[in-house]
Chains A and B, each alone.
Chain A
Amino acid sequence: MNYLVAADCEAYQIEDQSPKITFMNSLRSGRQIPIILLAVIFSFVACLRAQDTNTSQMKRGAIVVAAVQGKPKIFKPGATQGKNVTKGMLVQQGEKILTGKAATVSLAFENGSVIQVEPDSSFVVEEFLQAPWDASAMDLSKMKTEPSNSKLETFLEYGEVTSGVKKLNKGSSLNVTTPLGTAGIRGTDYQVGLQRDSNGASESLSVTVASGEVAVSTSSGGTTSVTGGSSASVTSTPGSMAHLPWSANSQARRFRQNPPS
């Protein structure tokens, strides 16, 4: 796993937790590190540096509300009072969109992607960076690929988003993170949903891919690739938590689900 991850910058973006943990564990245990692993580590660091270089050339990209249905709200970070979402308004990094019943918001990103936040969803654009490009000389609607490299990090707390993404350039990334896992998009049409149980807890993550490919990783380190015409689901398993370092809540949760007779 480490070798594959370290050799490929793009793969690292998808599965950024378990490789680091594995490496740190080997250091702590005092085991010798093979030379090949050191080489892999150096290439891994080089990948990170290359990514940093790319990101440093980017600026915050424009995010515009392209369409609205119903009465969705938008909240500044930490705010408890939201305001109505209106067509044409600019969305800033860190702002949360809550759609509620029968409401949707379509967000247009400067890289040509459109993400529709479906009803009963909570969605945050954490970071959107894009390298400068000449918008006056190019027609975004006719482009099949994004106009310049970009980085888009989003968080779907619950609910569903549907998206059409122009083919991303090498060095670009687009991730939809949820409490149960992350979908890493490379230029595709897809749908991501995070369903909750009756208590509001995350129950399952679904990723449906119409075309292209999406890498899905779970918070516990599992990864898989979903190609066009397929879907993947990630289900929570509240009964299998013994490996977590903190167990009090796990036990309580089990108790709630399996009360003693």
Chain B
Amino acid sequence: MILQSVRTQQESAASALTPAVLQGGSVSSTNLTQAQKASIEDAAQIDAENVVNVVRQLASEQPSSAPDIAAYAVELAPNAAADIAGAAASGAPDFAPAIAASVASMAPPFAAQIAASVALAVPSSAPQIAASVASAVPSSAPQIASTVAASVPSAAAAIAQSVAQAQPQQTEQIAAQTSAAVPESAGDIATQVQAQGEGGTATNTDKIGISDLPPVVPTNPTQPPPPAATPAPTSTPTQPTPTPPTPTPPSPTATPPEPTPTPTPTPNPSNA
């Protein structure tokens, strides 16, 4: 019931998807010349070190293409992602943030290392590099900030501020982890992040509530959509009586828990 809009799209989605899959999926399109591609491919036949050297050279020859050069190289030598990113940035320092984001989006599990490698190559752009990578892999924003700050500790506060600005929902985690990585700058980090984060900060969580919903009623995709849902839910014969919510144990690290979890009695009017 709550998902009719998505269910009705699944068939058309499949038809839209199949050509893309047959054509090779989402392999990133690059703006590289055949010569550039060939150089990288030849280097990849030898070893990762050759790829890194070729990337540095190609990036310095055509800086504006450095993000694409690095991304293509990472496709061929994924284990050298951080080194490739650093080499591309040293060859095209003006494009360091874009290079870092491009490579991090190719290898998200290594986003923090990639950001740190690029920041070490171009330390003056460390805050922008960290923020750019955090925008590509936002779930790792706190780790990215702390890792880059540990690599360029003199810019720790600016790094934390920049990443927090890019990911305002995670301000507190970013500040906490960066402070832990560079404790000598904890005061500055607090001040700068606080200054930019006045409006929006993520918060700790330690309450989970569960509630029952009415059963899901299969809907016929060929039928016209139901009228707009009204705020007032109405019971149906199939709707079960909501049972008491199951309290969840509080986090072991949490301070005194609230007396009750947060039940959400949701006799869910259709939002399909």
Residue positions of A touching B, CB distance < 8 A: 18, 59-67, 75-78, 87-88, 90-96, 106, 108-110, 112, 114-116, 124, 126-128, 130, 135-136, 139-141, 153, 155, 157-158, 162-164, 177, 179-181, 189-191, 194, 196, 199-202, 204-206, 208-211, 216, 218-222, 224, 226, 228-238, 240-246, 248-250, 252-253
Contact = CB atoms under 8 A, between A and B. Distances in A.
Nearest to B212: A230
Contacts of A127: 108-109
B7 interface: yes
Interface of B: 1-3, 5-7, 9-18, 20-22, 25-28, 97-98, 101-102, 104-106, 108-109, 131-133, 135-139, 167-173, 175-176, 179-180, 186, 190-191, 193-194, 197, 199-216, 246, 248-258, 262, 264, 266, 268, 271
A108 B17 contact: yes
A62 B255 contact: no
Given A116-B9, A222-B248, A244-B176, A94 B136 contact: yes
Given A94-B108, A108-B13, A246-B190, A189 B207 contact: no
A199 B206 contact: no
Nearest to A59: B25
Contact of B179 (A114, A199, A206, A245): A245
A222 B251 contact: yes
B215 A229 contact: yes
Given A62-B17, A139-B14, A231-B266, 14 more contacts: A62-B21, A95-B105, A127-B109, A155-B138, A162-B5, A164-B7, A204-B262, A222-B248, A232-B210, A241-B172, A245-B180, A249-B190, A249-B194, A252-B194
A105 B216 CA distance: 24
A92 B105 contact: yes
Contact of B26 (A62, A206, A252): A62
Given A64-B17, A106-B6, A224-B248, A237 B194 contact: no
Given A77-B136, A78-B135, A94-B137, A224 B210 contact: yes
Contacts of B208: 216, 218, 222, 224, 232-234
A232 B1 CA distance: 18
B255 A240 contact: yes
A258 to B, nearest CB: 14
Contacts of A190: 3
Given A222-B248, A229-B214, A62 B9 contact: no
13 contacts: A62-B21, A77-B135, A108-B16, A163-B6, A164-B10, A177-B139, A180-B202, A210-B1, A230-B210, A240-B255, A241-B172, A243-B254, A248-B191
Given A64-B13, A248-B194, A221 B138 contact: no
Nearest to A128: B26
B205 A234 contact: yes
A96 B207 CA distance: 29
B253 A243 contact: yes
A130, A237, A245: most-surrounded residue (chain B CB, <10 A): A237
Contact of A210 (B26, B137, B216, B258): B216
Q: Lowest 9 A-B CB distances belong to which pairs? A: A94-B105, A78-B132, A108-B13, A77-B136, A200-B200, A141-B14, A94-B136, A77-B101, A236-B203
Given A110-B25, A218-B251, A230-B210, A78 B176 contact: no
Contacts of A76: 101
Contacts of B16: 64-66, 87-88, 108
A224 B133 CA distance: 31
A207 to B, nearest CB: 9
A233 to B, nearest CB: 5
A84 B183 CA distance: 43
B9 A67 contact: yes
Given A155-B139, A231-B213, A208 B2 contact: yes
B206 A222 contact: yes
Contact of B98 (A78, A189, A226): A78
Contact of A199 (B5, B199, B205, B211): B199
B45 to A, nearest CB: 20
A20 B6 CA distance: 37
Nearest to A87: B16
Contact of B201 (A95, A177, A253): A253
A54 B213 CA distance: 36
A26 B191 CA distance: 33
B88 to A, nearest CB: 15
From B10, B132, B255, B256, residue with most partner A Cβ within 10 Å = B10
Nearest to B20: A62
A110 B176 contact: no
Given A158-B169, A206-B264, A201 B211 contact: no
Nearest to B138: A155
A94 B101 contact: yes
